[in-house]
A and B are shown apart, each in its own frame.
Chain A
Amino acid sequence: MTAPDPVTQEDLHAYVDGRLEPADELRIEAWLAEHPEDAAAVHAYRLQNSRLHDEFDSILDQAIPPEMEAIVTGRPRGAARLPRPWMNMAASILLLLAGGMGGWLLHGTQGPPPQGPAGTFADVAMGAHRVFVAEVRHPVEVPATQEAHLVAWLSKRLGTKLRAPDLTDAGFSLVGGRLLAEGDLPAAQFMYEDSGGQRLTVYVRAADETGDTAFRFVAKDNVSAFYWMERAFAYALVAPMERTRLMAIAHKVYGDLSPR
């Protein structure tokens, strides 16, 4: 073994907590094989985590006390001060944004910019992003461990051959996906996560109209989206990310999802 980076206590905890990249996990495992003291510590820390769950997880299965739920649901005063939900956001504002920020042309055959429907589309994709990335226990319906099943299922429901874009190079791995309903239309959402826990989503559904469009960009409330239409399907990439980095990922998503 060539002299690898020395393994620190921090590395051991990150290993225990599953916070390492696969390459680093291998490095730690090689180290542990030769350092029984550290291996014993790792074993002990893992045992602590599992015993914590044994001891306290039963609370998760208890019904939520009604008085707690009432604090959240029974006080419309708090809700009234909120900005309007993104789902209800006036499409006209989106149109302004979309019109002002478009311009990067993906390829030669440009249709007209996606007006109303695509504006609404980005809005819905961003709404779906916000709702599901916040999920801790159920962020996806089908996990990445069943990727083949996930892709086959969503492809069948959407009536097109989908695949889950490979965003490994951008540092994101597939968490899984889910089927959503947008009005009468089935829509697919793939979710990805990087090592820091940041999540991005890819949203796909049949387009309201045919015609290809350029990438269009919209940003709102710390979440950005690139969205486009390609041969009767509409696509959106949504993440809390600045435009340049998101665009690089959008290229990759486009390349992986474009009908062949």
Chain B
Amino acid sequence: MDDIHRLIVDQIPHLRRYARALLRNPDAADDLVQECLTRAMDRLHLWKPGSNMRAWLFSILHNQHVNAARRLNRRPDKADPERDHDALRPAPPEQGSRHEVRDLGRALEQLPEEQRQVVLLVGLEGLSYQETAEVLDVPSGTVMSRLNRGRQLLREIMEQNGTPNLRRVK
């Protein structure tokens, strides 16, 4: 395997982790990663050697995800970023019982998707704010505001539902 293919294969575990956290459904997540890899190989001639392979692959994955949602005509409404209509996610959980939201995955599901993406890219994948802005193709100020709102909301969800590690209850 030559270097460039090695660089891509090395990112597969990270792409899978992000897709799993984003979509929750393992099959849908791996399907998305496969679409991303297929697309990346088709566009490999556009990758600049020495540039950031991780950011490049994540941006392809993000675009594939957005396109899939758009194909299903369920794309999150840009005019109303607080609403979340992600067709690829499983149905939202029943109104959270205390038990259910202890599952971090379910708490994440309650975030608007645009916030969830930023919380995951930064907090789980360790992307810099600049990389996250590139991946999502938004200004870095937007990344910061989504990160702030996403983390605040996640905190409220988790604290409201009595996560044992957090005592502060609203």
Nearest Cβ in chain A — how far from B131, in angstroms?
A: 7
Q: CA separation between A10 and B143, bound complex, in Å?
A: 10
A40 to chain B, nearest CB (A): 6
**Interface magnitude class on chain A:** 35 or more
Do A13 and B151 contact each other (CB < 8 Å), given the known contacts A62-B13, A64-B9? yes
Docked complex Cα distance between A57 and B155 (Å): 21
Closest to B103 in A: A55
Interface stretch (choices A91-99, A129-137, A167-175): A129-137
Q: Is the interface of B mostly helix, strand, loop or mixed?
A: helix
**Are the C-beta atoms of B2 and A85 separated by less than 8 Å?**
yes
Q: Which residue of A lies closest to B2 (CB)?
A: A85
**What residues of A have a CB within 8 angstroms of the CB of B122 in the complex?**
13, 17
**Interface set of B (CB-CB < 8 Å, partner A):** 1-14, 16-17, 20-21, 30, 33-34, 37-38, 40-42, 44-45, 48-54, 104-105, 119-120, 122-124, 126, 128-131, 144, 147-148, 151-152, 154-155, 158-159, 165-166, 168
- A60 lies within 8 A of chain B by Cβ: yes
- Closest beta carbon of chain B to A126's beta carbon, Å: 8
- Flag A53-96 by CB within 8 Å of B: 1 or 0 each: 11111011010110111011101001101110111000000000
Q: Which residues of A contact B (CB under 8 A)?
A: 9-10, 13-14, 17, 19, 40-41, 44-45, 47-49, 51-57, 59-60, 62, 64-65, 67-69, 71-73, 75, 78-79, 81-83, 85-87, 127, 129-131, 133-136, 196-197, 221-223, 240
- The reply to whether A81 and B45 form a contact with Cβ atoms under 8 Å apart is yes
* Residue in A closest to B4 when the chains form the complex, CB atoms: A82
In order of increasing CB-CB distance, the 4 nearest A-B pairs are A81-B45, A78-B41, A52-B124, A49-B123
Residues of B within 8 A of A223 (CB): 49-50
Contact across chains for A196 and B34 when beta carbons are under 8 A apart: no
Interchain CB contact under 8 A, B50 and A48: no
- Pick from A13, A59, A67, A83: contact of B147, CB below 8 A: A13
Instruction: Decide if A136 touches B54 in the complex (CB within 8 Å).
Output: yes
* Cβ-defined partner of B48 (8 Å) among A9, A78, A221: A221
Cβ contact within 8 Å between A55 and B105: yes
Residues of A within 8 Å of B166, CB to CB, are 44, 47
CB B126 to nearest CB in A, in angstroms, measures: 8
- Chain B residue at smallest Cβ distance from A67: B34
Residues of the B chain whose Cβ atoms lie less than 8 Å from the Cβ of A19: 128-129
> Given contacts A78-B42, A130-B49, are A47 and B4 in contact (CB under 8 A)?
no
Q: Whole-angstrom distance between the alpha carbons of A48 and B77 in the complex?
A: 27
**A78 neighbours in B (Cβ, 8 Å):** 41-42, 44-45
Q: What are 22 sample pairs from A and B whose C-beta atoms fall under 8 A apart? A: A9-B144, A10-B148, A13-B122, A17-B123, A41-B152, A47-B165, A48-B155, A52-B123, A55-B21, A59-B20, A60-B13, A71-B38, A72-B9, A78-B42, A82-B4, A85-B2, A130-B3, A133-B50, A134-B10, A134-B54, A135-B10, A136-B14
Interface centre among A44, A83, A221, by most chain B C-beta atoms within 10 angstroms, is A44
| Chain B, Cβ-Cβ closest to A71 | B37
Q: When the two chains form their complex, are residues B20 and A56 in contact, meaning their CB atoms are under 8 A apart? A: yes
